[in-house]
Structure 1
Amino acid sequence: MRILTFIVLSLVLFSGCKKDSSNTPGKVSLVAPAKNSECTPVQSDGDNSSIVRFNWNAADHTEVYELQVTNLNTGTVQYRNTSSTVETLSLTKGTPFSWVVVSENSETTASVSSDSWLFYNPGSEITHVPFPAELSFPVQGSTAFRDVNNEISLKWVGKDLDNDIESYGIYLSNENPPTTLLKTTDAGVSELIVEVAADEVYFWKVVTTDEEGNVSTSTVSEFKTR
């Protein structure tokens, strides 16, 4: 009986000494640069770049924040690790960017990403290039199920600071990158129903054009069909 009691007490003490596995980092709330906006740089950094300040709200159970800023024209990502909720980066002028903040701590290998916000770092341009369209459906790498007509819906979201998007060009093919232009739609259309074959892998992208002739191209997304 004494041995059994000792074992039970040992288990209780051991479990009480373990780290709290529930301390997964919290999700950051982004503050600035504001979503879908033109940012206000801190200062110029030469002819082609300017210093942009990022800040966000603190997240629970977080020791380190990883700031990730993506140049939407080139796909280049800049990373910064900090324990603060403020960070600055030198960014190319006249360029659209996206940014996220990833929360991390030493008690777990799990990390949590914030939402992704788009912004524009101003330059000397009079008009803004549209943000690359966000491909929302089918989700990247997912399986799309055809309807009774062997069709699926392609959906996207377009944004432009000047609110002068003129058209979207939708490309879809079995090649990466896709080279077949399915259709060009006007600015009020953000969905296209297309016929696809079963058990195929498709790649698609959207090219956005505004009234000034500025053009942006989305990332390429991939999906399988059933």
Structure 2
Amino acid sequence: GAAPGAAKSPKVSPRVGPDASAPAPPPPAINHTPITEKRLLAFLEKIEESCSPASLAGMHLPALPTLPPAPTASLYIQSRLERVWDALLMPLPMRLDMVLLYTHRDRAGHLETAIKAWEAAAVAVVAREDALLALSSLQSAVEEARVGHLSVSAVERQCVELLQLSALVEQHATSLREDFGFSLTFDGLPYPSEETGVGKQQVVAFMEWLRDAPHLKLLS
């Protein structure tokens, strides 16, 4: 046995802290996404401002295709109607209904005003369909990992433009229905419909979806 009074071996205390010889764990990753809650709130404010009546009135939209010269006024009117019908993909029965409606003697004097209203509506619908297709194509490209980075500002502009065009289409649809007795359609269906409708909630959800895409690098 140990001699009385001999020094005892110190007890080994259980290790409490990290092993100084082991490498320190890396700090947790910080998501530096530019799509923050603050930015989303500012985005919503931008939408409200951009979709005001004054902003919509100042929008510049592309014109319908130019028509060739017509030998008579009646043929020119017919060409304008056909241009609207083609832009809206209007089926033949609806075209005939429109002709019967606007050539009735009670409405014949309003034909020019009605055609102008339809032309403005067709321009807005075509522009909205183009904007909707652009965002849909972008979504598909992200889903299929065909894009690796995106400008958030550019996507925000696309979303705002789509909502502006949607509001403009709603205005034209109301005018055609209340002032000219006809419903706005596209490809034979009421327009915009529940399936094609896009609002603030949808575009905010789209931005959040982009933020959470694992492979996507977002630039301000």
TM-score range, shorter chain: under 0.3
Q: TM-score normalized by structure 2? A: 0.26
Highest RCO, 1 vs 2 (Cα 8 Å, sep ≥ 6): 2
Q: Which has the larger radius of gyration?
A: 2
Higher helix share: 2
